[in-house]
Amino acid sequence: MKIVVCIKQVPDTTEIKINPVTGTLIRDGVPSIMNPDDKGGLELALELKEKYNAHITVITMGPPQADTILREAMAMGADRAILLTDKRFAGADTLATSHALAGALRKLDFDLLITGRQAIDGDTAQVGPQIAEHLGLPQVTYLCDLSFDGKRTFTLTREIEEGYQLLEAEAPCLVTVLASARNPRYMRVRGIVEAYSREVETWGFDQIEVNEEYLGLKGSPTQVKKAFAKDMKAPGSVYEAEPEEAVGIIISKLKEKFII
Amino acid sequence: MDFNLSKTQILFQQMIHQFAEKEVKPLAAEVDEMERFPLETVQKMGPVGIMGIPIPVAYGGAGGDTLLYTMAIEELSRACATTGVIVSAHTSLCAVPILEYGNEEQKQKYLPRLATGEWIGAFGLTEPNAGTDASAQQTTATPEGDSFILNGSKIFITNAEYAHVYIIMAMTDRSKGTKGITAFIVEKGTPGFSIGKKEKKMGIRGSATCELIFENCRIPKENQLGKTNEGFKIAMKGLDGGRIGIAAQALGIAQGALSETVKYVKERKQFGKPLSAFQNTQFQLADMETRVQAARWLVYRAASLKDQKVNFSSEAAMAKLFAAEVAMEVTTKAVQCHGGYGYTREYPVERMMRDAKITEIYEGTSEVQRMVISAKLLK
């Protein structure tokens, strides 16, 4: 089985602050990490590697510094790493990013394509599904678990609001994974020792298959109007009541606020 | 001269820091309180490669160097000094001597299991009447056919009870003093080998510290480590390396106490402002930080010299002497900065202060380190 995992380097948002004047993220001095959902996806791939002897390629689009998370992925057990970097990719929104990644993925052979559900810096959850659309792949989002019949068919469990959904998909397909679905392993010491003597392939526009119009700033229809920190919500009221009594409380509260 | 960490070292620190925070720190107070050996942590460290950092890949290790290993002991000890010494004694005093003095069969047999943490290692030199004076050894090894017969006892043995492999020093020629000592590899479960009294200690209370008893314990001749009568040399070389591990443990304890103190003085308010706003606190912290950094570079330098395969005995002794004293001083100040709370077990600095003391004593007391350092000066 061949697996490709898309990963992203993000600022550690547990450490991040927002500039109150400009409304933008203050990234200075904030450590960069591998996006947690992507790490969950990589862990899933590593478990499949152990089970089915899969080969894992990790790919990221980003500035040259994103090399760090590819080394981390290799130290965790990934076999091959590709850094997609080119000035022509800069300024990309989710659509342009997914086009660039899809352009690179057209050059790779895989049975399973894994992305994180969403990145903690933008929380859009769009790139994975967009890649699937560009490549015409079946996609299963919010994946919790999967098994493989050894030939072409994946049996997948996805998380939905009411419970779980059990699906089948033919390879190649794309899945998006939640960080909470997997407990990522630590980098292995041996992997760390070897990480910087291994190759990270650098791919630019010339190595991928995509229309240049779709890339970078000009391929990005999204415009950020305003970014702001959410006001803290006042704590709500908690009532412990039987259903019938609870309905009464809810109705009276809604009336109180002139909602009904 | 480059004082920057390499990319590999930065990546390693990222991993070991996370490991210590998530897997080690949450257990530290309980391990101390219950005097419990954290076996589950060893089982987690094995697959990650922490139990075999400086062991070559060919023998199942991670293929790292002494400096990475040192950083690991530092980070583990920052969270829990017990966990630090388990790895240090296992690696420096058992796995590394087998790597450096073992024959190929011994390396093949023991290193892969030690490096993956499947087996834990220990080392036995100290006896009731032979502490710093190692020449007063009373444990004997008498050849008999294809075997040696061991008789005697060892005390204060770290990892005893949990270890599977022990490097034991015993007299093969009593007339020659330290030059009549030979090293042996003894496996757990060998008839005639038993674990005696378990010590109740001031600090590092989760580490198993026991007596080893040998009563007509027959071990095969192929378990002799190194040459006959060269055991003392093996022990001293092992302790040279071990001192770097203990120095790193002391450094980690000091760093842990300093970090706890920085956190505490920002939170704790007296006279309407946080303790951190008082100049006395600031000066205390500045002194602590300066001492910790000085210790860190002595420790890293000793490790780096070992990696360069040059003589590092004196530097290892200086690193251990200084780092241990810094650990004692910084943890004492940390308790003081915490006031009454610092004296209680609600805060970890109380444990850290108790843990720090041992670093001035084991693997050569501070006085022994001074002997080593001055001996080189006066040579």
pLDDT at A240 over 90: no
Which DSSP string corresponds to chain A?
-EEEEE--EEE-GGG-EE-TTT--EE-TTPPEEE-HHHHHHHHHHHHHHHHH--EEEEEEES-GGGHHHHHHHHHHT-SEEEEE--GGGTT--HHHHHHHHHHHHTTS--SEEEEES--TTT----HHHHHHHHHT--EEEEEEEEEE-SSSEEEEEEEETTEEEEEEEESSEEEEE-GGG--PPPPPHHHHHHHTTS--EEE-GGGS---GGGSTGGG---------PPPPPPP-------HHHHHHHHHHHHHHTT--
pLDDT at A222 over 90: no
Nearest C-alpha in A relative to B12 = A192
B167-190 b/e with 16+ CB inside 10 Å = b? bbbbbbeeeeebebbbbbbbbbeb
The predicted model scores a pTM of 0.91
Question: Could you say which of B74, B75, B260, B363 is catalytic?
Answer: B363
Q: Using alpha carbons, list the distances in angstroms from residue B29 to B26, B210, B360.
A: 7, 21, 22
CB pairs under 8 A between A and B: 56
**Predicted local confidence at residue A24, as pLDDT:** 67
Which DSSP string corresponds to B341-377?
GGGSTTSTHHHHHHHHHHTTTSSS-HHHHHHHHHHHH
CA distance A190 to chain B (A): 4
Q: Which residue has the tokens 């969270």?
A: B79
Is residue A253 a part of any domain in this protein?
A: no
Long-range contacts of the stretch A165-168 (C-beta < 8 A, 24+)? A167/A140
Percent helix, strand, coil in chain B, to 5, is 60, 15, 25
Query: What residues in A contact B52, CB-CB < 8 Å?
Result: 189
Query: What residues in A contact B57, CB-CB < 8 Å?
Result: 190
Is residue A238 a part of any domain in this protein?
A: no
Q: Which residue has the tokens 């760093």?
A: B255
- Here the CATH number for the domain that contains residue A166 is 3.40.50.620
Classified as helix, coil or strand, B186 is strand
What residues contact B239, with CB distance under 8 A and at least 6 apart? Answer: B93, B125, B363, B364
Rounded Cα–Cα distance for residues B153 and B173 (Å): 17
CA distance B68 to chain A (A): 9
Please judge whether A186 and B18 are an interchain contact, meaning their C-beta atoms are less than 8 angstroms apart. Answer: yes
CA distance B65 to chain A (A): 9
pLDDT at A234 over 80: no
Q: In chain B, which stretches have pLDDT less than 50?
A: none
**Predicted local confidence at residue A182, as pLDDT:** 86
Classified as helix, coil or strand, B121 is strand
Is residue A241 a part of any domain in this protein?
A: no
Classified as helix, coil or strand, B69 is helix
Count other C-beta atoms under 10 Å from residue A7's C-beta: 28
Is residue A100 a part of any domain in this protein?
A: yes
Q: Shortest CA distance to B38 belongs to which of B206, B246, B156, B245?
A: B206
Structural domain that includes position A75: 2-219
- Tens-place pLDDT, residues A180-211: 888 999 999 999 999 999 999 999 999 999 99
Please judge whether A71 and B7 are an interchain contact, meaning their C-beta atoms are less than 8 angstroms apart. Answer: yes
pLDDT at A226 over 80: no
How many domains is chain A partitioned into structurally?
1
Average of pLDDT values for A226-254?
A: 83
* A195–B contact, CB cutoff 8 A: yes
Facing residue for B12 by CB, picked from A68, A185, A192: A192
pLDDT at A238 over 90: no
Contact call for residues B158 and B89 (beta carbons, < 8 A): yes
Nearest C-alpha in A relative to B60 = A190
Rounded Cα–Cα distance for residues B1 and B118 (Å): 39
Is residue A196 a part of any domain in this protein?
A: yes
Please judge whether A189 and B12 are an interchain contact, meaning their C-beta atoms are less than 8 angstroms apart. Answer: yes
- Tens-place pLDDT, residues B313-371: 999 999 999 999 999 999 999 999 999 999 999 999 999 999 999 999 999 999 999 99
Facing residue for B48 by CB, picked from A72, A189, A195: A189
Is residue A32 a part of any domain in this protein?
A: yes
Facing residue for B7 by CB, picked from A189, A194, A196: A196
Classified as helix, coil or strand, B164 is coil
Told to judge if B127 belongs to the known catalytic residues of this protein, a careful annotator would answer no
CA distance between the termini of chain B: 28
Quick one: pLDDT band at residue A256, thresholds 50, 70, 90? confident
Please judge whether A190 and B63 are an interchain contact, meaning their C-beta atoms are less than 8 angstroms apart. Answer: yes
B165 phi and psi, to 5 degrees? -130, 130
Count other C-beta atoms under 10 Å from residue B318's C-beta: 22
Please judge whether B11 and A190 are an interchain contact, meaning their C-beta atoms are less than 8 angstroms apart. Answer: no
Quick one: pLDDT band at residue A259, thresholds 50, 70, 90? confident
The residues pairing with B147 across neighbouring beta strands, listed in sequence order, are B144, B220
The separation between CA B221 and the C-alpha centre of its own chain, rounded to angstroms, equals 29
pLDDT at A21 over 90: no
- Tens-place pLDDT, residues A80-134: 999 999 999 988 889 999 999 999 999 999 999 999 999 988 888 899 999 999 9
What are the structure tokens assigned to A251, written together? 């109705």
Rg (CA), chain B: 21
Is residue A237 a part of any domain in this protein?
A: no
Please judge whether B8 and A72 are an interchain contact, meaning their C-beta atoms are less than 8 angstroms apart. Answer: no
pLDDT at A217 over 90: no
Nearest C-alpha in A relative to B49 = A189
Report the percent of chain A where pLDDT is more than 70.
96
Is residue A227 a part of any domain in this protein?
A: no
Please judge whether B8 and A192 are an interchain contact, meaning their C-beta atoms are less than 8 angstroms apart. Answer: yes
| ipTM value greater than 0.90 | yes
Which DSSP string corresponds to B321-345?
HHHHHHHHHHHHHHHHHHGGGGGST
Higher pLDDT, A78 or A12: A78
